[in-house]
Structure formats: structure tokens, C-alpha cells
Amino acid sequence: MPLISILFWNLNKKPLHRSIASIANLYGVDVVILAECEMDPSEVLVALNPEHSKPRYFFAPSIECEKIVMFTRFPASFMPIVMEADRLSIRHLRTPEMQNGVLLASIHFPSKLHWDESDQAVESSQYSSMIRDAEDISGHQRTIVIGDLNMNPFDPGIINTNGFHAVQSQLIAMKRTRTVQKQSYAFFYNPMWNFFGDLSSGPSGTFYYPPKGHASLYWHMFDQVLLRPDLLSTLNADSVSILDSDGKDTLLNSNRQPDSTKYSDHLPILLRLEI
């Protein structure tokens, strides 16, 4: 089965086109999804398609989603838009090599700087509803959510039944739904739980925020991948990674935290699935 590789990176408005191209080339990325990208898309496209080689990447224009920019290693017609909002783009991805298509929901969720936990929980129910509508339109639930959710995996917006309802155990997710007060809610699986702490390989999160008060997590897992159970058979131990290098330079500073001076304050995440 073909391997589909999807990269997401919140660039923190930095001109990181060279690093993006380096990562895309190193991992053979099929879909590049960027948030807080202030570069002109043509700048990124030229970096992704170097001189003296056949261009491989296409820009996939959005209609309503202004917060996310996408490039694909195939014509954008293989990833038509199903539904969009300002911070959400849901596309149906199916290349000729893929047996079945998938829904790819890319998100740059409102941040905790401006919204509190309650605001985020309410908003996540809106996004979750749109994703279900897109699944009804597409006739399947092979759905990937990827992006900067600006919430941790344990935050209410991620775990609530009317939010993303994402759980840390594949066994639980494979039950597909849970019923609460006679209402059934579909699960997502959240592989990002596996990256917390430093006993797992790689960085302990995707975003580092030093403590201001008495309680602080230091590392946050704002950039996440969520998968519907129908895609769990395509998952293995290497399917999801948090990248700490662009292949040429480290993205971390001397304290092993995201180097927000030279690069972004977020680390990129990479998803690879055999679909």
C-alpha cells in the first residue's frame, strides 16, 4: 500500500521556506500544511521546487480558510475541498495509488492567549460538528485531523464527547463510539499522548512555555494528529513523529527547547500512513 506523508508546522510567521523544503525532501512529504505562514505561497513553492529538477509540488488554494496554507506533491484536484471555515480546511484526499480516500481536516485552532478553556471547549464542538458533516458528505469516517489545536490532549476541547472525543488508547478508540445520556459519540484516537515526558524518544512536546506561576507543564502538545478508528490499521510505531531537525540543522536551542529565535516556537509534526 502506498505511504502518504503529511507534515504540519506552525511557522510563527518566520520565513522558513528552506527548512520546509529540506524536511519535505528528506521525508518525501506528500502534503505540506502550514499555519502562521506569512510568506507568499510562491516563495514556498519555489523552495519546494528547486531549479534544474522537475517540479514536484503544487499550491492547493483555499476558498475560505485563511489561516492554513497547503502544498501537495500532486495536483490539487486530488485533494478537493469538502468544507472550510476561517481556521479549518477539510479536504478529501485520494491519489490514484490509494485504495481508499481519506478526509484530511487541517486546523489552526484559536489560542489560549485569547480564549479560555470554556471558549475552546465550545469552539471544538463546532469543529467536531463540521467534521461529522464532512464525513456524512463523503460517506466514510477515514478521517485525519492535524494541526495546531492550541490545546493539550487532556484539555476538555479534545476529550469532551461533543469536542474531538479523542482518547489515548487504540483499544478504546476501536469501540468506535461511546453513549452518554442516550447520545452516541464517535471516538478519535490521539497518538500524541505517547510523546509526553522524556522516556519516549524525541522532544517532550511541540511547544515550550516556561512557567509564570506555581503550576506549569513547561512542555505542551498543541500540535496534534487525531485519527478515526477506521485508520488505526494503517498506524505503526513510526507513523507519527515530532521533528527536532530540518535534516540540516537542529530546530532546538542549547536547552533542547524549540529555537524560536532562528526557527519557530512550534516543532513540526509528521504523519506517515500506509493507505
**Chain positions contacting other proteins, by CB under 8 A:** 40-43, 45-46, 49, 54-55, 57-61, 75-76
Supply the minimum distance, in Å, between the C-beta of residue 8 and other proteins: 20
- DSSP string of 156-188, one letter each residue: HHHHSTTTT-EES-HHHHTT-EEEETTEEEE-E
Contact in structure between 138 and 101 (CB atoms under 8 Å): yes
65 class by beta-carbon count within 10 Å (0-12 exposed, 13-18 middle, 19+ buried): buried
- Minimum separation from the CB atom of position 40 to other proteins (A): 7
For residue 100, the minimal CB distance to other proteins (Å) is 25
- The nearer residue to other proteins, 42 or 254, going by C-beta atoms, is 42
Closest CA to 131 of 150, 103, 167, 100: 103
Measured CA to CA, the distance from residue 121 to residue 269 in angstroms comes to: 23
* Cβ nearer to other proteins, comparing 53 with 99: 53
CB-wise, 60 or 251, nearer to other proteins? 60
Closer by beta carbon to other proteins, 75 or else 202:
75
Least distance in Å: CB of 105 to other proteins?
21
Select 57 or 208, whichever has its Cβ closest to other proteins. 57
Shortest separation between residue 32's beta carbon and other proteins, angstroms: 13
Pick the closer one to other proteins by CB: 75 or 247: 75
Helix axes 41-48, 17-27, angle to 10 degrees: 40
Q: How far apart are CA 226 and CA 143, in angstroms?
A: 8
Distance of CA 19 to the CA centre of its chain: 18
| Pair type for strands 219-220 and 31-35 | unpaired
Least distance to other proteins, CB of residue 43, Å: 7
